[in-house]
Structure 1
Amino acid sequence: MANRIVTMLCSGFGLGFYIPGLLAANAFNRLGIPTEVLVFESFMVQDKMDHIVDSKNAYHHNFALANLSARMPIDIRQSIDEAKVNQLLERWEAEDRREFISLSGHWVYILDLYRQMMHPKRIHLDLLYVDSDLAPSWKSLKKFHPAYNAPYYDARLYDTAKMEIRYEIPVSSNVPSSFNERKRRLVVHGGGWGMGTYQSKIPELAEAGYGLDIVAYDLKEGKPDHTHRYWMNDPAWCAWVKGVNGLHEFPPYCEITQEATIRHDMKPDNHWLFDIASEAMAIVAKPGAGTLIDSLAAGIPLILLEPFGSHEQSNYELWETLGYGISYERWKESGFAAEVLESMHERIISRPVTGKNYVDHYCSRIALANG
């Protein structure tokens, strides 16, 4: 297995289907296993790709529209650029690619074609569900291809029947800071696409005496002062456009200060927001897949805002049941008490983690299969 390439199949529709793929790729690389990260949108026809940015802007400004879209199944096959996909499949065949991990249901149509090309050789595809229920790409796939997972392996990070965490995506080898070491600050954001009700909470949170690290959707939203900092992904960056080194990377980012906008290079090991969250007392956000991963890795509780789609509703219920998160309304009733946050922090850092590393699980299972 050490000489084989694990192909990480991501999506740019929200960073929750992109950042975890890069994190997993880094973990494989640390084990000496090479990887390649690909993003589905790179293999769409151009007009469909151009429309994604319009959707992103619309969903940022209209969360009800975003939630409506999450319930509408889409047959993504109409958007696939067949010429690009054929070139990709020919390259995979020439390189004898066998090991794949997909974070998006959209890739399964392409993997089905590749599996037919490789017959009777066997490929190994993990369908990696980073939410606790099916996200829209998986639901659409299931509608148009009900038995999509029959030839593949369902890799679920969370077990909602047992309300437990099965596996985790490794982020950092650092031990999370203790609660007493943390700043009296909160991270406030709307996920990778800046969706949801997070902006409406800023005045109350500021009045409660917390410093805020707010992720802006665009530069115009930045209104920094002596207690509130504004950050954002570099607006020139796009998940499905490779960096100057020809690879997909974590996004570069900006800090919006009162004097200027300061641009920073991307961090090689994780998303820049993780470092900021690691110093804060809580994240105030909808419960997206990437936010759950940050919560576990940084030992930081979630103040749960209105979810996007039924998959995030399931995430909401899981985190609340585990005691790793609390609804914004309930925390508000406590008077925005720091003691509530400390209790959740302690639950997170005391969770069992032995045997939970997803990358280790994949390596041991595929090595046995190859043997």
Structure 2
Amino acid sequence: MIEVLTSGVALGVHVPGLLLAQRLRERGAAADVSVLERLLPERKLATTAEMKWAFHRDFRLAKAGHRLATDPAAVTDPAAEAALFDRWDTERAGTFVVFSGFWLPIVERYLARGRAVRVVLCHIDAIASPSFRKAAGWQVPHEDVFLVDGTSMTVPCSVPVSARPPVPWADRQPRLYLHGGGWGMGTYREHIAELAGSGFALDVLAYRESDVDPRPGVRYFMTDPDWHPWHDNGFPPLRPADSATYTRGAAHPDSFELVRMAQAMVSKPGGGTCLDSLWSATPLLLLEPLGAAEKRNGEVWQRLGFGIPYETWRDSGFSGELLAGMHQALLRALPGIADYSAELAA
């Protein structure tokens, strides 16, 4: 059994873990997903949900919270942790793929029971994220896998979001997709009015009803504000803002369909966003990053020709030719990127 360990604190960590587990199962490997927050008491989960909305409202607060992130493994419910360890024993977990460093003290406690488990730290960002940096004293033997490498400035391997090839450029409308990652953080909403007059139609991911500001040429989509990753192992529920019905893709998030059809994404460069950009061959117009890891992600994307700062593109007169060139760079790169799920399932 391959156990994929994620955290619901960020969909940019959780969704790649879900994708890896799905790709492994499609290859015939046994894989399951554990979400760290399922080990936490209800009061801690309530606090986490409140933080989500606070960070969505105020990006300055989100940046401060990112720097001061605390280790949730220190307050896990002992009974929930014991039940998880029993499940891992029963399922004979042989490999842990760790997407959040906050899992490491828990994994260490499990290994202290005398279990022999391969441990892989799967970094969604180009450098170690705060969750891994805060676990710096961890000594158990492990492997490090970077899906974006901030040292070599390459994408050495990745997890496919979809088996379908990118949509051809000629089949895409002049449409942009704006979002703020799993918690709706960042400055993306500040650019809606400007972009509405740029000649591009817009798809905007909203996180609360109050985010929806109807205007010509702008379509809004809603994630379910009452859903959290610790509720289940499905992808995030999504609906058009003018519909009451949420849908959930089985193979990948429904939001990826918006990415595939866009000529560019306007977002901060989170690891999950870069993953979507790569597998859709959709260029990334870079907004202010959240922390050093996202900053390095953006630097790699610029070095490879996959993205440019939003302001640079705006100053070009919202050039469609610039976007087409980045799309071609992504298409050229894709065949040379190893599928990490194939390596892990072998």
User: TM class, shorter-chain normalised?
Assistant: over 0.9
Letter in 2 for 1:211: A
CA distance in 2, matches of 1:283, 1:333: 17
The runs of at least 4 consecutive aligned structure 1 residues that moved more than 4 Å come to none
- Change beyond 3 A, Cα 1:78–1:305: same
Give 1:345's match in structure 2, choosing from 323, 327, 333: 327
Amino acid of the residue matched to residue 56 of structure 2? H
Instruction: Provide the C-alpha distance between the structure 2 equivalents of 1:29 and 1:77, rounded to a whole number of angstroms.
Output: 28
CA apart distance, 1:108: 1.0
CA distance, structure 1, for counterparts of residue 55 and residue 38 of structure 2: 21
Contact map agreement 2:126 2:296 (CA 8 A) in 1:
yes
- Amino acid corresponding to residue 316 of structure 1 in structure 2: G
Indicate whether 1:234 and 2:224 are aligned. Answer: yes
- The answer on 1:296 being equivalent to 2:278 is yes
Distance 1:167 1:149, change over 3 A: farther
CA 1:60–1:318 in 2, change beyond 3 Å: closer, same or farther? same
* CA apart distance, 1:155: 1.3
Which amino acid in 2 is paired with 1:249? G
TM-score by length of 2: 0.96
Counterpart in the other structure of 2:173 = 183
Contact 1:252 1:263 in 2 (8 A): no
Deviations 1:270-328 (A, max 9, x none): 01110111011000000011100000100000000000111101111111111100001
The reply to whether residue 193 of structure 1 matches residue 189 of structure 2 is no
Matched letter for residue 298 of structure 1: S
CA distance in 2, matches of 1:340, 1:62: 31
Match of 1:11 in 2: 7
Which one of the candidate residues 319, 323, 327 is aligned to 2:305?
A: 323
**Are residue 99 (structure 1) and residue 95 (structure 2) matched?**
yes
User: C-alpha deviations, 1:136-169, integer Å up to 9, x for none?
Assistant: 2112222xxx2x2641111111222211111111
Q: CA deviation at 1:236?
A: 2.7
Paired position in structure 1 for 2:234: 249
Correspondence for 2:27: 31
2:152 corresponds to: 162
What is the alpha-carbon distance in structure 2 between the residues aligned to residue 241 and residue 214 of structure 1? 25
Q: 1:17: Cα distance to partner?
A: 0.9
Q: CA deviation at 1:29?
A: 0.8
Q: Check if 1:79 corresponds to 2:75.
A: yes
Question: Aligned pair count?
Answer: 346
Q: Is the 8 A contact 1:25 1:35 kept in 2?
A: yes
Read off the aligned partner of 1:112 and give its amino acid letter: E
CA contact (8 A) 1:234 1:263 kept: no
Unaligned runs of 5+ in 2: none
On the 8 A contact 1:73/1:139 being kept in 2, the answer is no
Aligned to 2:122: 128
- Alpha-carbon distance in 2 for matches of 1:73, 1:23: 25
Q: Alignment RMSD, CA only? A: 1.4
SS in 1 for 2:261: coil
In structure 2, the CA distance between the partners of 1:267 and 1:73, relative to structure 1 (3 Å rule), is closer
SS at match of 1:18: helix
Gaps of 5+ in 1: 243-247, 365-371
Change in 2 beyond 3 A, CA 1:352/1:251 = closer
